[in-house]
Copies of this chain bind each other. A is one copy, B any other.
């Protein structure tokens, strides 16, 4: 287990407080990060339906999942084995049986089928079918949308969580410098990605890395006009720009980071774009402190870059930390216009002011925690456009 039982119990307590505020008596948690946060459960089993039940007057959660994953729950959680309930394998990806029917039956058996039930309506792992089957199976229950309820409980990190994110940052620093070092004319994109992966997972001598919730994003050339492409097995060409957005991950905790490399001298307009964005991110990092609202960071960014004529319509960043694929973002606070979340110490964000134009783009980012008086970035790598002057063919 990654945290002491007391920390898990305290998290459950804070979850129950939010449940009470929302009139929820039983909470069904399907978000794997939320399951992990409250129980310790870890495993690549979220591709089948599984959940954690939190009942208002029970101390321990109940884990329900596929039979073959029950031993995984015994190994990774603080739950009594009696609270680990496996469903038979013929419920898996079947056209005739659905795991939510099993869940409904359990709720009936334990007398929890006439209660106010919270469900994570907009979570990847709670499909439309899950909702439909549960409602069919639990005619006497009422349902309340509990999307992001536990995510909001997660928003302020404990010191141990911050320590894990610092370890993730030590890993991403190495992976980023490895990637920047290798990118050059004639090198295959996949060979750079492979070395980055190697560094992400081998970690340091002291601790190893976990798989990040998002694979390395490595668009090159015109593909830098969009942020979410990965890599190919093509070779980099002279003059191309390459964006790297990667995360270190330690025990499911992330520290993402983005930088941009130019193979050879950049055009004046590209250098100007990168200077503007770097000035903008620096202005943000300078003004971040407890007590301000997320939207104020966006305002500082906008005021700083205004004179350049560059406009960024997409959000500037988001809360993050513990997560599983497909996203390291926490789905709580966003750094954008209208977000009035007030910063507090040990909130953690990925600030990523990417600009994607029609033919090229530029990204530079920092993951940071809010401190007592300002903020501190997790990683420490120069905030600049990296230029590979020496474009010899390497293979």
Residues of B within 8 A of A306 (CB): none
- CB–CB B126/A147 < 8 A: no
Residues of B within 8 A of A331 (CB): 93
Query: Does A384 sit within 8 A of B, measured CB to CB?
Result: no
**Which of A71, A89, A92, A189 has its CB near the most chain B CB atoms (within 10 A)?**
A71
Residues of B within 8 A of A124 (CB): 47, 124-125, 127
Chain copies in the assembly? 2
Query: Does A236 sit within 8 A of B, measured CB to CB?
Result: no
Residues of B within 8 A of A70 (CB): 226
Give the residue of B68, B89, B201, B358 whose beta carbon is less than 8 angstroms from that of A71: B358
Query: Does A222 sit within 8 A of B, measured CB to CB?
Result: yes
Residues of B within 8 A of A122 (CB): 98, 127-130
Chain B residue at smallest Cβ distance from A213: B47
- CB–CB A208/B232 < 8 A: yes
Number of interface residues of A (CB under 8 A): 87
Query: Does A376 sit within 8 A of B, measured CB to CB?
Result: no
Q: How far is the CB of A7 from chain B (nearest CB, A)?
A: 19
Residues of B within 8 A of A132 (CB): 121, 131
The verdict on A208 contacting B233 (CB below 8 Å), with A88-B313, A131-B131, A325-B326 known, is: yes
- CB–CB A313/B228 < 8 A: no
Residues of B within 8 A of A327 (CB): 47
Give the residue of B46, B210, B329 whose beta carbon is less than 8 angstroms from that of A230: B210
The distance in angstroms between the C-alpha atoms of A129 and B313, with both chains bound, is 25
Proximity bits, A193-229, B CB within 8 Å = 1, else 0: 1110111111100011111001101000011011111
Give the residue of B42, B90, B215, B334 whose beta carbon is less than 8 angstroms from that of A229: B42
Proximity bits, A330-359, B CB within 8 Å = 1, else 0: 010010111000000000000000101010
Query: Does A123 sit within 8 A of B, measured CB to CB?
Result: yes
- CB–CB A188/B208 < 8 A: yes
Give the residue of B43, B88, B202, B329 whose beta carbon is less than 8 angstroms from that of A228: B43
The distance in angstroms between the C-alpha atoms of A288 and B313, with both chains bound, is 55
- CB–CB B203/A190 < 8 A: yes
- CB–CB B71/A226 < 8 A: yes
The distance in angstroms between the C-alpha atoms of A354 and B68, with both chains bound, is 10
